[in-house]
Copies of this chain bind each other. A is one copy, B any other.
Amino acid sequence: MVMRNSDELDPAKRDIMEATYDAITNTGYSDLTIQDIADEFDRSKTLIYYHYDGREELLVDFLDYVMKQFRTMLPDSAESPQEELETLIDTLLPTTVEEEPFQVMLAMFELRVNAPYDTNCRDQYLAVEDELNTLLVDILSRGVENGEFENIDPETEAELFVSLLIGTRARRLTVYDPEESIASLKEAIQYHIERITATSEGNA
**Interface hits, A44-65 → B, CB 8 Å:** none
Say which one of A2-10, A106-114, A139-147 lies at the interface with B.
A106-114
Q: How far is the CA of A189 from the CA of B162 in the complex (A)?
A: 12
In the complex, the 5 A-B pairs of residues with the closest C-beta atoms, listed nearest first: A167-B167, A115-B174, A166-B167, A163-B167, A159-B188
With A28-B113, A116-B28 given, is the CB distance from A185 to B159 under 8 Å?
yes
> Does A129 make an interface contact (CB < 8 A)?
yes
> Does A29 make an interface contact (CB < 8 A)?
yes
Contact with B along A154-192 (1 / 0, CB 8 A): 001101101111111011011100100000110111011
Give the contacting residue for A175; candidates B28, B122, B187; CB below 8 A. Answer: B122
Q: In the complex, what residues of B have CB within 8 A of residue A170's CB?
A: 112, 166-167, 170
Size category of the A interface is 35 or more
Q: In the complex, what residues of B have CB within 8 A of residue A110's CB?
A: 113
Instruction: Specify the chain B residue showing the minimal Cβ separation from A26.
Output: B117
**Number of copies of this protein chain within its complex:** 2
> Does A30 make an interface contact (CB < 8 A)?
yes
> Does A125 make an interface contact (CB < 8 A)?
yes
With A126-B175, A164-B164, A167-B164 given, is the CB distance from A29 to B113 under 8 Å?
yes
**Interface hits, A75-125 → B, CB 8 Å:** 106, 109-110, 112-117, 122, 125
> Does A131 make an interface contact (CB < 8 A)?
no
